[in-house]
Chains A and B, each alone.
Chain A
């Protein structure tokens, strides 16, 4: 059994297809581990064993942990919010549907910050998730349950969503791989909306090959999401171990001030590795990136305030049952939404209100243009941009709960990419004070294959030793 647990998802899929490993045994192993979860990573675990995968199913029956933000037919899908407690959707999100059809059955639903709003998982309506590296620390967020589950070997792989860093930052804090694809690469249908112009779903995995394999079966146009696009080329599994001729840009704006010393050290070592592997490194300028957080905290709450208007106790979820219609709305929301969600709805409605719209929303949209232009200029000279993923290692539970701005700044290095719509990956670069440090590689729109190839080469050279899985 232990041997099965050690297999990467891609390798396990291969062995199932070769008839050397039973998909049923694999599912049972992870179901038992997920059920014994002490990290609060799972909100629901499957009890029925799925039918064996088709003989040629590319994902070989390797079970998938799914962030609670995705609708899965008949399965609790609550965005970790009390306002959707007990909700079981009548349909399944396209991304999940595609992965299930490719042979990855749903293992369980993972905990997260409520409606994906947060960077520590402490905003879940169902309690915080603990980081397997140090249970007194946060796993990051908002896809903290998915990241912790993969890092602790409770799931072979997982999917999450990223609006300002919600895949990459928890991947960084938990020492795993997480990728946010190009905006539109993966359908958002059935993914509970937070900020629709930024939200993208992507893989959280043990290694880069697993991320490529999962992403390969997620991308593509979907008639149910008009912003989804046909991916211009198939996603390939990376094999190249050198970086000869690959030009990396390092922006001082995202690598200097605010990045703690231990993170900077791991980052500098990675830069040296790039050169050893035959790549080149030069300084590039992303002058508007320091304004990313400010622009993001106008745009994302503004979009969220519109998207979350539907949770009013009329169509789904628990309903407060006193008095007239207005008090039904008010009480349902007062009881159902957590503090951070309320904060963002207030920020968003304020930013969109008459008289303030141009000063906030209008300006933030223009900052977004400047941030995207900065990247366009950089990619004239370099192929990829290299930064730390998170300015710090995993912080202590409770440390930033009462300081929302400090919490928001956790996404300082990851926010510019979704604002520009471009893809980026986080891979483990090493340890600082015994905790994982993530390295971020970003590229132009639709450069997923280029990013995965470079991340794979770096991964081989770094040789990160993941945390040994606990027995359960």
Chain B
């Protein structure tokens, strides 16, 4: 695994060759404006349904072992 990761990182290092001075970073690629909507409550998935797939539940929540001390 470590050999493979090194090969990949060597390739990734190539972005270090570029002159990126003054270039703005892109996090969202399509130009959009923020859109607001009224904060109206609407029905969501019932709790029992949301818990159905959990490996373990207790008192309407997910049950996990103690995180220890």
Give residues in A with beta carbon < 8 Å to B.
Answer: 87-91, 182-184, 197, 223, 226-227, 229, 288, 291, 293-295, 297-298, 313-319, 323-326, 328, 339, 342-343, 346-347, 351, 359-360, 362-370, 372, 404-405, 408, 419-421, 445
Contact = CB atoms under 8 A, between A and B. Distances in A.
A408 B49 CA distance: 39
4 shortest interchain CB distances as A-B pairs? A421-B29, A365-B25, A319-B55, A366-B20
B60 interface: no
Interface of B: 1, 4-5, 7-9, 11-16, 18, 20, 23-30, 32, 35, 37, 45, 49-50, 52-56, 62, 64-68
21 contacts: A87-B53, A90-B45, A183-B29, A184-B32, A197-B27, A197-B28, A227-B30, A291-B18, A298-B12, A319-B55, A319-B56, A324-B68, A339-B1, A346-B5, A363-B20, A365-B25, A367-B18, A368-B25, A369-B26, A404-B8, A420-B29
Given A90-B45, A288-B18, A325-B65, A294 B12 contact: yes
A113 to B, nearest CB: 16
A343 B32 contact: no
A409 to B, nearest CB: 9
A407 B15 CA distance: 19
Contacts of B52: 90
Contacts of A347: 5, 8-9
B53 to A, nearest CB: 4
Query: Helix, strand, loop or mixed for chain B's interface?
Result: loop
A369 B15 CA distance: 13
Contact of B66 (A227, A324, A342): A324
A370 B1 contact: no
Given A314-B62, A445-B30, A366 B5 contact: no
A291 B19 CA distance: 12
B68 to A, nearest CB: 4
A20 B11 CA distance: 57
Contacts of B67: 324-326
Contacts of A405: 7-8, 11
A365 B27 contact: yes
A274 to B, nearest CB: 28
Among B9, B12, B23, B50, the most chain A Cβ lie within 10 Å of the Cβ of B12
Contacts of A294: 11-15
Contacts of A319: 55-56
A325 to B, nearest CB: 4
Contact of A366 (B12, B24, B53, B56): B24
Given A319-B55, A369-B26, A370-B23, A325 B68 contact: yes
A29 B54 CA distance: 36
B20 A324 contact: no
A315 B57 CA distance: 9
B44 to A, nearest CB: 10
Contacts of B15: 291, 294-295, 298, 363-364, 367
